[in-house]
C-alpha cells in the first residue's frame, strides 16, 4: 500500500478504497482482462466449479464487483435457484445491474444485488448453499469477521470458496510477477483507468496478502471444516474450498 493510503485511519482508508473502486467501475472488467491476460476468467470458472452449486440452489458472491461471477452462479442454479451479489462500491453494482439486464436472454435464476459490507451480511443464518469471494477478501475492513459471517449464512455442508492472489511457487515466476505487478499493473492500469493510486494499492495489497496456509487457518477459525486449497497458474492465484460443519 502506498504511504498515502497507509497513513489514513481505518475508516478513511475504507472510504478511499470504496471511492477508488467506484472510480474505475466502468472499465474494471476490461482492465482485469488486459492486466491478467484473461487468466482471471479461468480462475473464476474454477472457483464456480469448486462451489458445487446444484440447480435450485442459493449462491452468494461477496465483493461481487461488476457481477461476472454472480451471473455465472445464477446460470448454474437455474430458474429455480437464486444468486445474490454483494459489494460495498455502489458504482460497481450499477455496472452489475446493467450486465444482469443485458444477460437476461439466458435462462437463469433471479439475481439480487445488495450494497453492503461483507463483515455484516444482511442475510439470515443458514440461508445459502455456497459463498464465493474472488480477489475481494483483502479489501474488506475485517477479513476474520467477514469469514465468520460467511460461515453463519451457509447451510450445514454448504461451501465457501475464496479465490485470492498467492505467491508464485517457482523463484523465477515470483520475480517476474513481482516486477510485472510493481511496474505494469500501476502504470498501465493507472493510465487506462485514470486511477494510478488504485492500481498501486492493488499491487501493494497483493504483496501483503498472507500465505495460503495462513488464510486456511483463518477459514478454520471462522468455524469451517475441510479446508483445501489449490494453487493456480504456478501459484499466482489460490482457490480455497471449505465446508460448514454439519
In Å, how far from its chain's centre is CA 168? 19
Report the b/e string of 16-46 with b at 16+ CB within 10 A.
Answer: bbbebbbbbbebbbebbeebbeeebbebbee
Q: What gap in Å lies between CA 109 and CA 102, rounded to an integer?
A: 14
- Looking at residue 18, its pLDDT comes to 82
Beta bridge partners of 240: 162, 229
For the chain, give every domain's residue range. 3-244
- Looking at residue 171, its pLDDT comes to 92
C-alpha cell read off for 245: 460443519
Q: Which CATH entry fits the domain spanning 3-244: 3.30.70.20, 3.40.50.2300, 3.40.50.150, 3.30.70.260? A: 3.40.50.150
Half-sphere exposure of 74 (CA within 13 A, CB side): 26
Angle at 209 between CA 10 and CA 121, to 5 degrees: 55
Q: What gap in Å lies between CA 217 and CA 63, rounded to an integer?
A: 21
Burial class (CB in 10 A: 0-12, 13-18, 19+), 78: middle
Paired sense of beta strands 58-62 and 128-134, if any: parallel
SS3 237: strand
Per-residue pLDDT of 158-194, as tens digits, reads: 999 999 998 898 999 989 988 888 888 888 888 888 8
- Total length of the chain: 246
Taking 70 as the pLDDT cut, the residues of the chain under it are 1-10, 104-107
DSSP string, 141-203: S-HHHHHHHHHHHEEEEEEEEEEEE---SSHHHHHHHHHHHHHHIIIIIHHHHS-HHHHHHHH
- Looking at residue 13, its pLDDT comes to 75
- pTM for this one? 0.91
DSSP string, 47-109: HHHHTT--TT-EEEEET-TTSHHHHHHHHHH-TTSEEEEEES-HHHHHHHHHHHHHTTTS---
Q: What gap in Å lies between CA 180 and CA 238, rounded to an integer?
A: 18
Amino acid at each position: 500500500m502506498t504511504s498515502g493510503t497507509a497513513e489514513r485511519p481505518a475508516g478513511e482508508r475504507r472510504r478511499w478504497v470504496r471511492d477508488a473502486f467506484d472510480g474505475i467501475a466502468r472499465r474494471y472488467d476490461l482492465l482485469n482482462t488486459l492486466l491478467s491476460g484473461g487468466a482471471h476468467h479461468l480462475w473464476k470458472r474454477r472457483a464456480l466449479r469448486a462451489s458445487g452449486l446444484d440447480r435450485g440452489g442459493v449462491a452468494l458472491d461477496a465483493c461481487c464487483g461488476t457481477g461476472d461471477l454472480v451471473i455465472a452462479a445464477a446460470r448454474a442454479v437455474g430458474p429455480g435457484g437464486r444468486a445474490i451479489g454483494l459489494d460495498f462500491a455502489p458504482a460497481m453494482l450499477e455496472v452489475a445491474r446493467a450486465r444482469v439486464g443485458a444477460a437476461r436472454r439466458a435462462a437463469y435464476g433471479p439475481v439480487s444485488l445488495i450494497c453492503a459490507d461483507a463483515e455484516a451480511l444482511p442475510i439470515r443464518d443458514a440461508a445459502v448453499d455456497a459463498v464465493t469471494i474472488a480477489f475481494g477478501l483483502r479489501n474488506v475492513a475485517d477479513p476474520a469477521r467477514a469469514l465468520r459471517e460467511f460461515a453463519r449464512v451457509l447451510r450445514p455442508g454448504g461451501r465457501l470458496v475464496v479465490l485470492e492472489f498467492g505467491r508464485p511457487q517457482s523463484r523465477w515466476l515470483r520475480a517476474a510477477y513481482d516486477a510485472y505487478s510493481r511496474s505494469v499493473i500501476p502504470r498501465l492500469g493507472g493510465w487506462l483507468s485514470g486511477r494510478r493510486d488504485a492500481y498501486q494499492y492493488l499491487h501493494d495489497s497483493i504483496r501483503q496478502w498472507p500465505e495460503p496456509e495462513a488464510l486456511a487457518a483463518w477459514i478454520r477459525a471462522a468455524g469451517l471444516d475441510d479446508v483445501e486449497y489449490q494453487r493456480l497458474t504456478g501459484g499466482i492465484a489460490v482457490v480455497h474450498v471449505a465446508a460448514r460443519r454439519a
